[in-house]
A and B are shown apart, each in its own frame.
Chain A
Amino acid sequence: MKISGKVPPSPFRLLKERYFGEETRNPRVARAALARLSERLPQDVVPVVSAAVASLIDYQDPDYALAYLERIERYVGPTAHPLPNLAELAQLLSDRMHFEDPIRIAQLKLAEAGGAAAEPSTASIDRLEKFRWDEVIPMLPTKAAAPALRFFQRLHLARLARRSVTLRFSVRTRFKLRWLKWLAAARITRPFSERFKLERVWVERWLHMVDRSLVKQPDATVTIVRTASLISGHGDTYQNGLAQWNAIIDGLVKPACDGTLALHGLGDAIRQAREAAVGEQAQASLLQRVEQLRRSALA
């Protein structure tokens, strides 16, 4: 008589689980977490979150989608502070978690060409994208990227790291298509990169400011959530947006939440600072406006 029983997992599978987290890297786990969270989310937020989870699984992996859900979960539940624009936050969070690095552009170009089954096409138009060296170098793991950037700084060549590098994404030949596929497949290395770490820290800082404003300046929360829209794209656009965001947060939001700057209309102040920043590459008018707002608050 044959006795059927559960086959014990092989050592290979156990090693894979140990180092790559087999259990959470299953899309089913992320979808189950989404279903559980959807029951507690407001109706207008569910479609945004569902679309974001599906997209983040493609962008990175189910673990990354779970990280997104865990961040959204902070704003639902009996102990959480209610957020007036949760749908907007969910969308902006999704946008920021889909940060644009060369791997992302390769993924988009490959999807446009037909995905994994794409064939070389001479009719296809190449995509030329300008990145900065200080965006490309952090694609390396932290232990390699940090010394490389320090090397530039030590030689007083930091401005060289800020220079642009043009990358071509093409499916015109078999070789170029193969390279594109390799680059898109390099997404598995993304979580180990310095850029991934920096983006995680940025998202946490943004959410931290949102959380603190909910307690200290609830009227300004919606505006603080919207500051994330300052950052988009890649290259100079991304770096400029990041610098503007840092100027607003360091100059106005953080001191107001710390209690060192008595800025009662924080939301209005942020709006004014953002208006000053419209259309400028350097942060001169923005910094000037932030300084004016700080002076008037301290007066």
Chain B
Amino acid sequence: MDMSGLVSGAGGFIASAFVVAGYTMRTMIPLRIFGILTNVVLILFSVMHHHYPVMVLHMILLPLNVYRLREMLLLVREVKKSVNGDLSMEWLKPFMTERKCKSGEILFYKHEKAEEMFYIVSGRYRLVESGIELPNGAIVGELGMLSPSNKRTQTLECLEGGIILSVTYQKVEELYVQNPEFGFYFLRLVSARLFQNVGRLEAQLAQSTAQAAT
């Protein structure tokens, strides 16, 4: 009995089952995993049947799926590390776009609708209303994404030209929706930064109360 027809037929059914399973996935990581499995099965299937255009297509899709899966897994790992570590947001860097800032340029105004967050790479930047100068490596505007009013609370001015990285809230939202694990850790991270700010303010208040008492 010729088993090759049976095997190739079964291969076709398995590949179809993977395609269907892939479409039922709601989030990005399982979707990519099923994508990779589908690519592998369809490469084998197309080699057996000499369907070279299908094979070429899946040879292109396979590394793409692997790359995107790795990117997503790395993102989750970095956010997790950040929550348990220094609360930095450096993990966002690969998703940010670089922008040059000139001296005197205003990055955003107070009351303006907040649409993106910034990572300061170089140059000098000052929050105009409070007069606070921000150090290199600081993230500005991450809380604006979660605040109900979505408004800037300060004006940010560039004092000395430099480079900043920016990412739109829409991009972060996309990452959040595509990957619930990332979303969970992102919320924990932003809450931790908020609590850190509250703690700093409480310490300042306690210090000024003590000064007033003496």
Contact = CB atoms under 8 A, between A and B. Distances in A.
A201 B105 CA distance: 11
A208 interface: yes
B90 interface: no
A205 B112 CA distance: 10
A204 interface: yes
A74 interface: yes
Interface string A164-207: 00000000000000000000000000000000000001001101
A252 to B, nearest CB: 15
Interface residues of B, number: 8
A212 B113 CA distance: 19
B9 to A, nearest CB: 35
A205 B111 contact: no
A159 to B, nearest CB: 22
Nearest to A212: B128
Interface in A91-114: none
Interface in B99-133: 106, 109-113, 128
A134 interface: no
Interface in B140-164: 155
A135 interface: no
In this complex, the interface size class of chain A, counting residues with CB under 8 Å from chain B, is 10 to 19
**From DSSP, what is the main secondary structure of chain A's interface residues?**
helix
A61 interface: no
Interface string A239-281: 0000000000000000000000000000000000000000000
A201 B113 CA distance: 12
A208 B128 CA distance: 10
Contact of B106 (A67, A70, A74, A205): A205
A292 B22 CA distance: 72
A211 B106 CA distance: 15
Interface string B152-184: 000100000000000000000000000000000
Contact of B110 (A67, A70, A201, A211): A211
Contact of A207 (B106, B109, B128): B109
Nearest to B152: A204
Contacts of A211: 110-111
B26 to A, nearest CB: 16
Contacts of B112: 204
Nearest to A258: B128
A204 B113 CA distance: 11
B109 A74 contact: no
Contact of B109 (A67, A70, A205): A205
Nearest to A74: B111
Nearest to B111: A74
B102 to A, nearest CB: 13
A205 B155 CA distance: 10
Contacts of A71: 111
Contacts of B128: 212
B209 to A, nearest CB: 24
Interface string A30-72: 0000000000000000000000000000000000000100110
Interface string A206-237: 01100110000000000000000000000000
A70 B128 CA distance: 21
B213 to A, nearest CB: 29
A251 to B, nearest CB: 13
Interface string B78-116: 000000000000000000000000000010011111000
A248 to B, nearest CB: 16
A18 to B, nearest CB: 11
A201 B106 CA distance: 9
Name the residue among A71, A205, A208 with the largest chain B CB count within 10 angstroms: A208
Contact of B111 (A201, A207, A212): A207
Contacts of B155: 208
B148 to A, nearest CB: 14
Nearest to A200: B112
A186 to B, nearest CB: 24
Closest 4 interchain pairs by CB?
A: A204-B109, A208-B109, A74-B111, A204-B112
Given A201-B106, A208-B109, 17 more contacts: A67-B113, A70-B113, A71-B111, A74-B111, A204-B109, A204-B111, A204-B112, A205-B106, A205-B109, A207-B109, A207-B111, A208-B106, A208-B110, A208-B155, A211-B110, A211-B111, A212-B128
19 contacts: A67-B113, A70-B113, A71-B111, A74-B111, A201-B106, A204-B109, A204-B111, A204-B112, A205-B106, A205-B109, A207-B109, A207-B111, A208-B106, A208-B109, A208-B110, A208-B155, A211-B110, A211-B111, A212-B128
Interface of B: 106, 109-113, 128, 155
